[in-house]
Chain A
Amino acid sequence: MLKTIFPTLTRFRFAVQVLMLFVTVYGGALLGTYTVDRISQALPSLACAFDKQTGDHCILIVTQHQLHHRIGEALVKAQEITYKVFIPTLISVGVFFSFFFFLNKAFCGWVCPMGTVQEVIYRIGRRLGRPLKRFAPENVGMVRPVKWLMLLVLVLGLPLLAGMGVADNEFGDPYCQVCPSRIATTLLTADTEQIALRTSTGVNFFLGALGNALFGFVIIAALAVRLPFCRICPLLSWNALFQRLSPMQLVKKQHDKCAKCGVCEKACPMDIHEIGQEHGRKAFHEDCTLCGRCVEYCPDDDVIQIRFFGIPLFKSSRDYYKQRVKLETPEGLPKNKVIWLTQAKENRNG
Chain B
Amino acid sequence: MAGAGKPAAWTAFPMLKIRMGGESRERRMVTIVPQGIVAGSVDAYSNNAEDARGHRQLPLEMAGARLDKPESGGFHWLAAREEQTGEVRVASTVQFFSDRGGKNPAAMFMQQKHELEIIPQPYPREHSRYRANEDWKFLVRFNSKPLANQKVLMETMNGTRAELVSDARGVIMVRIPDDFKAEEPKKTAGGHDHGRRSSDFVLATEHAEGGKNYLTAFNASYGTDAFYQRSLAMGLGFTLLGMIGAVPLLRQRKDAKPVATEATKDGDA
Residues on A facing B (Cβ under 8 Å): 28, 32-34, 36-42, 49-50, 52, 57, 69-70, 73, 91-92, 95, 125, 129-133, 169-170, 172, 183, 192-193, 195-200, 208-209, 212-221, 223-225, 261, 263, 266, 299, 325-326, 329-331, 333, 335, 338, 342
Contact pattern, B 251-267, Cβ under 8 Å of A = 1, otherwise 0: 11100100110110011
| The residue from A33, A57, A330 contacting B122, defined by CB atoms under 8 A apart | A33
| The residue from B100, B101, B234, B266 contacting A330, defined by CB atoms under 8 A apart | B266
Contacts of A130 in B (CB 8 A): 250, 252
Contact B260 A329 (CB under 8 A): yes
Smallest CB–CB gap between B209 and chain A, Å? 32
Bound together, the chains give a CA A323 to CA B234 distance in angstroms of 49
Contacts of A197 in B (CB 8 A): 230-232, 234-235, 238
Given contacts A49-B127, A70-B27, 16 further A-B contacts (CB under 8 A): A34-B106, A34-B122, A38-B103, A42-B100, A69-B191, A172-B194, A195-B235, A196-B227, A196-B231, A196-B235, A197-B235, A208-B235, A216-B244, A218-B246, A263-B269, A331-B259
Smallest CB–CB gap between A254 and chain B, Å? 19
9 pairs across A/B with beta carbons < 8 Å?
A131-B249, A133-B249, A170-B194, A195-B235, A195-B236, A208-B238, A220-B243, A224-B250, A330-B263
Bound together, the chains give a CA A197 to CA B259 distance in angstroms of 39
Contact A95 B230 (CB under 8 A): no
Contact A225 B249 (CB under 8 A): yes
Contact A217 B242 (CB under 8 A): yes
Smallest CB–CB gap between B56 and chain A, Å? 21
Contacts of A39 in B (CB 8 A): 101
| The residue from A37, A42, A338 contacting B99, defined by CB atoms under 8 A apart | A37
Smallest CB–CB gap between B73 and chain A, Å? 10
Q: A213-B239, A261-B269, A329-B260 are in contact. Are A69 and B125 (CB under 8 A)?
A: no
Smallest CB–CB gap between A58 and chain B, Å? 12
| The residue from B229, B236, B244, B250 contacting A200, defined by CB atoms under 8 A apart | B229
Contact A131 B231 (CB under 8 A): no
Bound together, the chains give a CA A229 to CA B150 distance in angstroms of 53
Which A-chain residue is minimally distant from B239 (CB atoms)? A216
| The residue from B191, B238, B250, B267 contacting A169, defined by CB atoms under 8 A apart | B191
Contact A37 B102 (CB under 8 A): yes
Bound together, the chains give a CA A170 to CA B195 distance in angstroms of 9
Q: A196-B232, A196-B235, A331-B259 are in contact. Are A131 and B245 (CB under 8 A)?
A: no
B247 at the interface (CB under 8 A from A): yes
Contact B243 A219 (CB under 8 A): yes
Contacts of A218 in B (CB 8 A): 242, 246
Contact pattern, B 195-237, Cβ under 8 Å of A = 1, otherwise 0: 1000000000000000000000000000000110111101110
Smallest CB–CB gap between B21 and chain A, Å? 11
CB proximity to A under 8 Å, residues B135-188 = none
Contact pattern, B 99-128, Cβ under 8 Å of A = 1, otherwise 0: 111111110000000000000001001111
Contact A213 B245 (CB under 8 A): yes
| The residue from A32, A69, A73 contacting B104, defined by CB atoms under 8 A apart | A32
Contacts of B252 in A (CB 8 A): 129-131, 342
B241 at the interface (CB under 8 A from A): yes
Contacts of B263 in A (CB 8 A): 325, 329-331, 333
Smallest CB–CB gap between B130 and chain A, Å? 13
Contact B104 A299 (CB under 8 A): no
Contacts of A34 in B (CB 8 A): 104-106, 122, 125
Bound together, the chains give a CA A132 to CA B257 distance in angstroms of 11
Which B-chain residue is minimally distant from A261 (CB atoms)? B269
Contacts of B245 in A (CB 8 A): 213, 216-217
The 10 nearest A-B residue pairs measured at CB:
A216-B242, A329-B263, A213-B242, A220-B246, A212-B238, A217-B242, A216-B239, A196-B230, A216-B243, A197-B235
Smallest CB–CB gap between A129 and chain B, Å? 8
Contact B239 A36 (CB under 8 A): no
Smallest CB–CB gap between B204 and chain A, Å? 25
Which A-chain residue is minimally distant from B225 (CB atoms)? A193
B240 at the interface (CB under 8 A from A): yes
Bound together, the chains give a CA A50 to CA B226 distance in angstroms of 12
Smallest CB–CB gap between A219 and chain B, Å? 7
Bound together, the chains give a CA A217 to CA B242 distance in angstroms of 4
